[in-house]
Structure 1
């Protein structure tokens, strides 16, 4: 009973990450400069990552330098630019539909690298989730752009691979999820920065409203949300975590209706019910699947600033902008 209750709490906390990402579109349209998606991606990741480094005072050590770089690239650095490229080249919410195939990618990669064999129920649930999201966000029609489709698929695969390898590699001994989050956000932000400056030019002038929006995105929408996401990956199966992803476009649709005056059609409401049902179904582990053991808490120490961990010494997304782009 206690294990079941603990798992429910873990799932609920992890779900807060995609729910938070569902607010990205509303915050971006109401508070941030227009047409600066890469700069926004950098401002989400890099300040949050640096802030977590200052708080945790931990740098990677040994092989974790390249592992943190790889995970940061997959989850942040490659994911954000590919996501926006798809969003701007595909009609309507097509990029969100492609992104909703993430559970299926994770199921395949988890079978290869984690030994989590996907059941028929998992595959059918993944298809249902994609169908539900498509009913919610897919409005426009038009010819599909090959580059956009490739970028959309690549962004979905990158996030899926990041989820699986985060699960496979775990964390160094004594390093908690907050530390690992800081490493990945910093690495991803540093990878996005030169691309943003090359494509979009110098940073725009920012007023108080813009700064408030970026502060929310960096702290709540990114630092806290990705910490909850990576924490969940460490305690649940990779497939279970990725089935929480559809909550992001669903939250975006609800916020658009409640805060931005957008309408929800009966077809969209049906899609929301299907996607939410698939999210719940994805939390039931098939028989024979062992529950993930919670990561050991970091040992309490009094480190020097930015000291490397000793041997005894740790989810966007822009996700939602895709679900609502070019409405």
Structure 2
């Protein structure tokens, strides 16, 4: 989704990114309710935040609470996300930019090193969930048209974090970005302006993390649901290390991660492998066969375990799991439909 072109605030104000989020929320809400008249001008609030204590704020912003508030528009929101993913092609990177744009200056391994560095950056400052997904997408889109690396990675994380959480600048500003990456503050500000312009000011497309949250939105009744969601997020995260996953839509990556996670948790807990799988597929609107290639690519990554950053992501997940055998998973895919 595209909004009015504005220059990023060079003093690290969150107002610019807060406006993106509020306009995006208004857009989805209006799409869901069928309203077509122009919305009133959105003015970002200037106060420090809602008057809630930590526990109350966490409850108010929980996925289950958001689902309850949006339940009446569930189908419309799903259709809007899919439409944004499919129609706004400019918000997707070129799948083969490494050969068509970079021309050998960067390969898949170097790109994985960049994503690993971005992963460490997001963890160093405890940035909002979803920052890495959005930052990697920003970096890939930028590299689909230009050729700069670590400074790009740092700025992509910074921009994505401010989009995901308007309070990011309470713990991270352009000076901190410059210090962490050994850049100058002027370089960071200049690159931020270039990145936002290169993205054509279209910054709100759904990521794989968006779809994992959406596909698991009805969870909570079964004790396995939260574990499936957590594992699905973990399975989707390393896909950004491998450029081959750019050929898949974010919803495909998310549906594949949730499918594999559900089968894995069922196996580990002693349930039938397909317990709850058909309901999950109905929620994603994918047939299991549609996910075969993406799941195979996911298995390639987990079996090789040699990608830069993969072992760190695996260790930081802090839960033990063992994916079903590849042949067994192939049979699950065949039988699921």
TM over 0.5: no
Greater C-alpha radius of gyration: 2
Q: Which has the higher contact order (CA 8 A, sep 6+)?
A: 1
TM-score in terms of structure 1 length = 0.28
